Structure 1
Amino acid sequence: MSGDTRLEDDLSANLKNTDDIKFIWLVDKSDCLARQTVENILKNKNYSSRVEVYYLDDVPQEVNPKVFKLSQAVKKIKTEYTVILDDDAVIDRKKLDELSIYEKDKAEWIVTGIPYNYNIKGFYSKLISAFINSNSIFSYFSMSFLKENKTINGMFYILRTDILKKYSAFEEIKYWLCDDLALATYLLSKNVKIIQSTIFCNVRNTVPNFRKYILLMKRWLLFSNVYMKNAFSIKFLFIILLPVFLPAILLFLSFYFGINHFIMIIVLFVGKVGLFHIVRLFIYQSEIQKKGNFFHKADELPYELASEFLLPFILVYTLLTPPVIIWRNKKLELKMGKYIMKFNDYLEKLESLDVSKTF
């Protein structure tokens, strides 16, 4: 976990939402804000009895920070099942009961959830939320329906603990940057099946300004590029790639052909946003009936439209600038591995990179 401004709210929410789940929190020794946040939360004795905290040394430069921490925690897990949860993800305990249908499945599996953001504050945070909400459900469910799901939602997934230990999963992927795709690829090679559930987790990214928004989107697009190179198929082309790139191409062409074409493209963007919104309403109609508030707010639609309109320009920016990202307070230059992006071998070069020149 890191010292995000919403860290205390998110961690507390997960503890409030559950009473029969034990947590292991992995904290950097050097992250003073995160350490203080943990201490504040654990003053509540009702929570402290369910939480084990491990303070870890700084991660070596060539190792994935998240996977490095997880690999150290696996041996400390004593429960039959393990849920991996990002520090900005909030789960609904009642929804986890849906996983009981897989208990009798003797095959080896990993169940992944759907990121869905709500109750988000701040303009740029809402733009990120709009991007996630309008794309994640359609992408994950479509590929799962076609039996083409080759990755997981790294923010929330569950599997039997013995699978992690049996295959030394995190140890095997610790040098890969894109950990969700790496884990999925590795487990698939061991004949562990990926199950896409309808369980949502609320991922509440805090994005304070335009620059942070652009850099976060760039990081995700670079990671998406890895998936395209690793898992390209005809189904992927028509279900995922064309819905993203075709509107972008048409938008730029409309600047050349004139205002009438531009208006037609705007109508296309509005139609796509509206269609995806209706699909989400259909998928989560039971949640709407129970909670009746956050899943169908009409005021989310302008953010989703703005996100769709900005995406083509961010794609161009990502293609034209060096593959440098800021991730977990580390400045990284990326290169393509066989399957996914690896940390750049020339670590000395990273120290001389000026990220401000990439934006």
Structure 2
Amino acid sequence: MELLAVAVLGVFALGYFLLGGADIGVGMLLPVLGRDARQRRLVVTAIAPFFLGNEVWLVATAGILVGAFPVLEGELLTGLFPAVVLLLVGWIVRDMGLWSRSRSDGRAWCAGCDAAITGGSWGVALSWGWMFAGLLAGRIHEVVTGPGALLTAVAVATLFAVHGLAFARLRLSGPPHRRASALFGRCGERPGLALTSSALVLLCLAVGFRLPLQENAADPGTLGLLLPAVLVLMPFLLGAQALMWWTFRARVERPLYLSTHDSWPWCPAEPGSRWRRWRCCKPGRSSRRRTCSRAPSRSSTPVTCRGSPEPSCCARLRRGAATPSCTEPRRISKPICGARSSPGPRRNGRAGRSAR
């Protein structure tokens, strides 16, 4: 039973460091990969569907540690208390920046949220490096200090950043993808991710072998109640994670999740006026509030809206349609920030609402 408890703890810990380490590394390099506001929103979109699910692995690891190794958990929490506090602060600051970024489109607000994401990610990575420095030295009752601990913390944080680069190359597109590829090197995308994942696995195994896990396991009665319940729930967790990663397997082409309103098809009119929504109907159709015309030939020129900072704010028609031109705006009674777009055009030939 003790070996099974150790194996379950290792599975959850490896799941967090492999999956959660990827979005932490991307957050650490947010200002490097994204040079302007839209590119940074693109980088945030790359990790937005995953970061909450990845944090579940950390919560599960802590739960297994408390339930199956209560004595060791008390020693680790007491001895590594400063590093644990730094980890929690970085975790909260990072999530606060991710969730709050879409609340406003002001430059100062977005800059502050980007700084929270980057600083919180660095704080999480450095806190793990600080804890690993002591655990690799066999000191679980106190945090280590000195140049060796600092170098170990920086090395672990660098490994997180490189792992994030490998993940960014699979998720991003455009200039952020080219920067990530240039920083990572000539190694292939999937082999590069496998390489960084292997390095994290070796690091976690080295730390795990230094911990007295079997000696501090709970009594057989507790393990007999805890482990069957965990083994029953584990397939559901693995299935949910697999479904999530399969659903969002494609590269990110535009900002969508946790982004400000200008990633949706809402276009600001001239400065000082109210917000307008540009709606496109089916080619060759017209309606009372909007008029669309079909371009004479297919063109790769992006659709533009007058007075809008985004080159693709008008809704795209369904695949196969030529590039539309929106000629008449629909006025909105009050400003709308972060509003979701309406469903796409219907297939029965009617004039549909704007696509996402």
Regarding TM over 0.5, the answer is no
Q: Give the strand-richer structure, 1 or 2.
A: 1
**TM-score, normalised by the number of residues in structure 2:** 0.25
